[in-house]
Amino acid sequence: MNLLEFIDSKERNLWIEEPGLTYYVRKSLMFPGVIELANCSARPETGSLGYWRFLKKYEKQIPFIAEQVLNDDLAALLRQRKWLEKRTYEIPQFASPLFVKMHGDSERFKLLWNARDFEF
């Protein structure tokens, strides 16, 4: 099952494998239509290229939250692509531009993503 099939399914969370990348996603309960990217690992043979391909394929059509990004290459790529960053206990979390566009004005967003915690 790929990400688009997951979105259309009744599954709430799933590990997905695509060329060069394995990732774990959840359908957000707090933000309808948003996918929470909970874990993402590029295969050694593709390295950061796996992340780049994933973002190129999905980020303009699917709103994401990437939680607890511990991989420095992925964090750097998300910053480069202008994802909104927040640090919680010094661990970066990111919101995709599409997520911010869809939910940035909501009270829930403002409560959870307090503007003073953002880093650009």
Of 11, 1, 40, the residue nearest 24 (C-alpha): 40
- Kindly list the distances between the CA atom of residue 32 and the CA atoms of 70, 102, 115, in Å, as whole numbers in the listed order: 25, 10, 21
pLDDT at 115 over 70: no
Residue with tokens 């420095």: 72
pLDDT at 102 over 60: yes
Question: Which domains does the chain show, CATH number per domain?
Answer: 3-119 (3.40.630)
Q: Which two tokens stand for residue 93?
A: 């979390």
Is the pLDDT higher at 44 or at 4? 4
The per-residue pLDDT for 36 is 95
